[in-house]
Structure 1
Amino acid sequence: MSSFDDRKKGFEKKFVTDEELKFKVSSRRNRYLGEWAAGILQLKDEKQSEYVQSVVKADLEEAGDEDVIRKLKADLENHHITEEEIRKKITEFNQKAQADFQ
């Protein structure tokens, strides 16, 4: 029974590690999205930092990316940025964030 328990603990530890990595990648991706959007909005210094944090926090509202997409879509509405463009940036920045952690 000991080897079974060891395997179980190993799987649990891997699951926790994988979930932590997903969270870190998602947070980094959202930071990149916030920086991209802040550039479009022409925010500088402290306002840029606050905006980036608001994008990162927006992802904590619900599971998935829809909360971040809604925020960015509303914030960038006057700049003619489409939801499709936002989704492309999400994919691009997700790949960049994953590369950061490898």
Structure 2
Amino acid sequence: MNKFSEREKSFEKKFMHDQELQFKVSAKRNKYLAEWAGSKLGKNDEQRQNYVQEVIKADLEEAGDEDVFRKVKKDFENSAINIDDSEIRNQMSLALERAKEDFK
């Protein structure tokens, strides 16, 4: 194998590793966000665990974070709980930072 091929393989491996890490961080962020939201929604432990799975699944609908935001916002609205958009987004940011710390 020549140097170029070795280097190319190395970059491919790093890219795959970075993508996998990003996926894991996002899933962990969604878990933390869902635990916070589930608590605000008055869910018990079992319901909260199911809710975590729902939020993680919602993140697979489209690229980016808006699908998760819309899910959580809609769930608050359906439960007649008034949570400001900025509070949800702030919790998403806090959950992301916490998730990143988990993988350091």
TM-score, scaled to structure 2: 0.94
| Residue aligning to 2:63 | 63
Q: What secondary structure, in the 3-state scheme, does the structure 1 residue paired with 2:87 have?
A: helix
- Which whole-Å deviations, capped at 9, do the CAs of 1:37-61 have from their partners, x for residues lacking one? 0100110122111111101110000
CA RMSD of aligned residues (A): 1.0
| Residue aligning to 1:43 | 43
Code of the aligned partner of 1:100: D
Choose which of 88, 91, 95 in structure 2 pairs with 1:89: 91
CA distance in 2, matches of 1:47, 1:93: 20
Pairwise CA distance, 1:79 = 1.4
Choose which of 68, 78, 81 in structure 2 pairs with 1:79: 81
Q: What secondary structure, in the 3-state scheme, does the structure 2 residue paired with 1:79 have?
A: coil
Aligned structure 1 segments of 4 or more residues deviating by more than 6 angstroms: none
* Structure 1 spans left out of the alignment, 5+ residues: none
CA distance in 1, matches of 2:98, 2:14: 23
| Residue aligning to 2:11 | 11
Pairwise CA distance, 1:85 = 1.0
What's the % identity of the aligned pairs? 53
* Structure 2 spans left out of the alignment, 5+ residues: none
Pairwise CA distance, 1:30 = 0.0
TM-score, scaled to structure 1: 0.96
